[in-house]
Structure 1
Amino acid sequence: MDEDQGEPEIGRIREAAEAADWSAVRDQLTERPESEDRTWLINAVAKTANVENWIPQAVEAEPGSALPLLVAGARHVNWAWEARTGARAEHVSREQFQVFHNRLRTAEKWLYAAAEREPEWVSPWYFLQMSGRGLQVGQTVARRRFEAAVRRHPHHLGAHQQQLQQLCDKWGGSHEEMHAFATQAVREAPAGSMLGQLVALAHIEQWLALDSGADAEYLGQPGITASLTEAAERSIWHEDFAYGQGWLQVYNTFAMAFSLTGDRDLAKLCFDGTNGIVTAFPWNYLDAADPAAAYRENRSAAGR
């Protein structure tokens, strides 16, 4: 499994973050203009353990800069979710929720400060989508944060992924709202956009929400395969497919979706496109302990 998703830059910035080398982290981030690509790099830093221990010093050392504020906020969002874990709410303790919410509130202060200093940046709004879901700001506020992100970067994959999560039934939305959002986003996106992933994710999310038996019945409907095929044709199978940051995750998502529907030939096409590289998401939905094992099992079933 490739944690860097085929992007050497992600590995380099993670190594710098692990070494608490703010200078190297800052230099790599400033080489990229504020964009979806930089969001991915910041996310790699945000997922790195112990960044919370040294990033406050960078904030203090550069009082006029938005970048350390952004990184501090992003790390605290991920650090908060680490405390909560991915368990259902009924399996999260009161103490975990308290730590979760405290860290998210700290994150929001830093992220809003970064957004105020750099009003054209999209990344603060991406992470505010994540913190807002945890703080249960509600659908109206969440929508405003998503809209703030896409005003700055209309086809930002991460921002759309976060809004899709917000519209899931488990977060107070509905299956209907989730699918409508995914379909509209894909149809309004340029041909070859990575946003095609949203349709596959929406079907996977509904499958996850259903009980055993009903989940297989749902994915067995002919309309599901047709929906996935249309999205893939507008995305990964289009001649103008945009191989930007995250493209491997998009291929892996379609591979999993077609595997779940039992469309082995279509799944095989998607597995071929991954070049044998596994991304943790979405395979961790099938095997949180070993996403690569889930990938291999389904790739084998597809005859790859």
Structure 2
Amino acid sequence: MALLRELGNTLGRLTGRPVARVDEDAGDPEAGRVREAAAARDWAAVRDVLDARPESEDRTGLLWAVGDVAGVEGWIADVVAAEPEAPLPRLVAGVRHISWAWEARTSASARHVSREQFQVFHERLAEAETWLYEVAEREPGWTSPWYALQVTGRGLEVGPDVARRRFEATVRRDPHHLGAHQQRLQQLCRKWGGSHEEMHDFAHRSAFDAPGGTLLGQLVAVAHIEHWLHLDSGADARYIGQPQVIASLHRAADHSVRHRDFVPGRGSLQVLNTFAMAFSLAGDHTAAREFFLATEGRVTEFPWYYLDGDPVASYKARRALAGR
């Protein structure tokens, strides 16, 4: 609470509001550097950035930054051939094939994706799994391959037992890995074959079983947003505006980013944006304003793209409602 209040007081002394902009790197300056190196096909520079980051949640964002660069799937194969015993090129190849698979599928709903698109999607995910299992075998202590296998598993619909085992394998190596918990929560959403009850139970247990000050409180907010998204207009507002929902958001924030042990770092920007959106949807504009102040106008695509596809426009509209 003190940290967010301090951020808000500082920003309150500024003239006007911070300009809202999408922060593609989610507050991690090395993401831009590794993305540029990947676009330039500079494997030495990519390797240096990845090697300097611990093999855990800290490396996850950098891997996705590389994986989202078009063309990596071509030149990384040459690196694998040149370094046949090295696990890192295989990890990059696996992550790139995941992004490449979703490029083929697109973000359209399943009914608007052709049979040919689904075929390419599944082929690329299957190739990703081959790379990732090779990495997991060579580096049994690494977290990233198991986290990435959670993503491929959802796309390939591997089933609840396999999905659960992949999540468990990830958190055995990094118990508070936010990305792993986010993937597991998505797996438990009704839209992926789960239920609201399973989703909320998982979010609550994960958030409050963790020590105070971790980022896992975000899961409670995401679960309420997912529940809100599932409902029809009118019912959605009644759901998320319930006093017990607002109270649960406050408890999660208090145990997470408001907690005295919270230390801002990589990943926290998305969490602040998520609480800002959840409190805004719930109609608690005082709490929403607190989190909008803390984001300093830096917008993360998730979860704002859930509203109308334009994260900055959605953020600005909701920020205005909160009196910022």
- Equivalent position of 1:67 in the other structure: 88
Q: How many residues align?
A: 303
- Equivalent position of 1:4 in the other structure: 25
What's the CA shift for 1:285? 0.7
- Equivalent position of 2:103 in the other structure: 82
Q: 1:109 aligns with which of 130, 135, 145?
A: 130
Where structure 2 has 5 or more consecutive residues not aligned to the other structure, the ranges are: 1-21
Aligned equivalents of 2:194, 2:299: Cα separation in 1: 30
RMSD of aligned C-alpha atoms? 0.9
- Equivalent position of 2:62 in the other structure: 41
Q: 1:294 aligns with which of 301, 304, 314?
A: 314
Instruction: Flag the structure with larger Rg.
Output: 2
What's the CA shift for 1:216? 1.2
Aligned equivalents of 1:209, 1:95: Cα separation in 2: 28
Aligned equivalents of 1:177, 1:210: Cα separation in 2: 17
1:278 and 2:299 correspond: yes
- Equivalent position of 1:165 in the other structure: 186
Aligned equivalents of 1:244, 1:82: Cα separation in 2: 29
What's the CA shift for 1:49? 1.7
Q: Which range moved further: 51-60 or 68-77?
A: 51-60
What's the CA shift for 1:287? 2.5
1:222 and 2:259 correspond: no
Q: Which range moved further: 89-98 or 262-271?
A: 89-98
SS where residue 286 of structure 1 aligns? helix
CA deviations on 1:15-35 (whole Å, 9 max, x unpaired) are 111111111001111112211
The code of the aligned residue for 2:150 comes to Q
Aligned equivalents of 1:33, 1:258: Cα separation in 2: 33
What's the CA shift for 1:242? 3.2
What's the CA shift for 1:244? 2.9
Q: Which range moved further: 203-212 or 248-257?
A: 203-212
What's the CA shift for 1:47? 1.5
Structure with more contact order per residue of length (Cα contacts < 8 Å, sep ≥ 6): 2
Q: TM-score, normalising length from structure 1? A: 0.98
SS where residue 23 of structure 1 aligns? helix
The code of the aligned residue for 2:319 comes to R
1:257 and 2:284 correspond: no
- 8 A Cα contact 1:35 1:123, kept in partner: yes
CA deviations on 1:244-284 (whole Å, 9 max, x unpaired) are 32110000000000111111000000111111111111111
1:237 and 2:237 correspond: no
Aligned equivalents of 1:243, 1:48: Cα separation in 2: 27
Q: Which runs of 4+ in 1 moved over 4 A?
A: none
What's the CA shift for 1:87? 2.1
- Equivalent position of 1:136 in the other structure: 157
Where structure 1 has 5 or more consecutive residues not aligned to the other structure, the ranges are: none
- Equivalent position of 1:154 in the other structure: 175
The code of the aligned residue for 2:320 comes to S
CA deviations on 1:82-108 (whole Å, 9 max, x unpaired) are 211222212211111111000000000
Q: 1:269 aligns with which of 282, 285, 290?
A: 290
Aligned equivalents of 2:114, 2:164: Cα separation in 1: 28
- Equivalent position of 1:303 in the other structure: 323
Aligned equivalents of 1:140, 1:245: Cα separation in 2: 31
